């Protein structure tokens, strides 16, 4: 017989900060001896197909201040649009590319960086191709649940215009918050705004 549990108190919620980036990226924060290197630190493990790129950015709060205690993870396919996952059934992903990365924001500048490859297009559930993109997951102080967003590429105008996710965004003027900037060839910069007029589009996953 099921007993009532009204004698149990509700556990308080816990935000992801301020120590999650320390526990998950100890080498980055100067704590040695936990892992040989931080998990997700290296996405390219050998010679890879496609174009190597660097992604940088910041997580910016509602006052315009970059967070210096955020942790960012990214997930993406390889240059051929294949994921490094047992669930991938369309082919074999590049063995020298993990497809997943983790980084902490710099404690002075708030900037994060990933060395990766430009992803290929992947099919949507209805078979239409999605524009090349990188999925982001962000945690930091004050964020109870990780925030999901995407970064699209500014040199993929035609693909972005037809992307089945971007075209579903009701306020199309906000699509620009998902498009990276290109400070230099092979370098994409993507700032994630948590609040304010430039608030990034986040996805309910």
* Residue 55 included in any domain: yes
* Residue 151 included in any domain: yes
pLDDT at residue 5, as a whole number: 59
Predicted confidence band at 23 (pLDDT cuts at 50, 70, 90)? confident
pLDDT at residue 1, as a whole number: 46
* Residue 98 included in any domain: yes
* Residue 38 included in any domain: yes
Using DSSP's 3-state secondary structure scheme, residue 173 falls into helix
Closest CA relative to residue 36, chosen from 26, 22, 23, 47: 26
Contacts for 50 with CB less than 8 Å, ≥ 6 apart? 78, 79, 80, 94, 117, 118, 120
* Residue 3 included in any domain: no
Range of the domain at 167: 20-193
Average pLDDT, the chain: 91
CATH of the domain at 85: 2.60.130.10
Predicted confidence band at 21 (pLDDT cuts at 50, 70, 90)? low
* Residue 199 included in any domain: no
Q: Whole-prediction pTM value? A: 0.88
Q: Which of 45-59, 93-107, 131-145, 151-165 has the lowest mean pLDDT?
A: 131-145
54 φ, ψ to 5°? -120, 130
Which residues share a beta bridge with 100? Answer: 75
Cα–Cα dist 119/153, whole Å: 10
Domain count, the chain: 1
Mean pLDDT of 45-66: 96
């Amino acid at each position: 017989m099921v007993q009532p549990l009204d004698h149990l108190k509700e556990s308080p919620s816990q935000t992801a900060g301020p120590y999650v980036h320390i526990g998950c990226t100890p080498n980055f924060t100067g704590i040695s001896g936990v892992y040989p290197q931080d998990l997700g630190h290296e996405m390219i493990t050998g010679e890879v197909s496609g174009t190597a790129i660097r992604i940088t950015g910041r997580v910016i709060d509602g006052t315009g201040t970059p967070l210096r205690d955020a942790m960012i993870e990214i997930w993406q396919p390889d240059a051929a649009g294949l994921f490094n996952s047992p669930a991938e059934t369309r082919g074999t992903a590049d063995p020298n590319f993990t497809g997943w990365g983790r980084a902490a924001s710099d404690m002075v500048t708030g900037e994060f960086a990933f060395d990766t490859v430009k992803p290929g297009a992947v099919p949507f559930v209805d078979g239409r191709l999605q524009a090349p993109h990188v999925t982001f997951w962000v945690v930091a102080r004050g964020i109870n649940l990780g925030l999901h967003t995407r970064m699209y590429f500014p040199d993929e105008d035609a693909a972005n215009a037809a992307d089945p996710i971007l075209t579903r965004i009701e306020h199309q003027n906000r699509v620009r918050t998902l498009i990276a900037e290109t400070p230099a060839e092979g370098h994409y910069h993507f700032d994630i705004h948590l609040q304010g007029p430039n608030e990034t589009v986040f996805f309910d996953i």
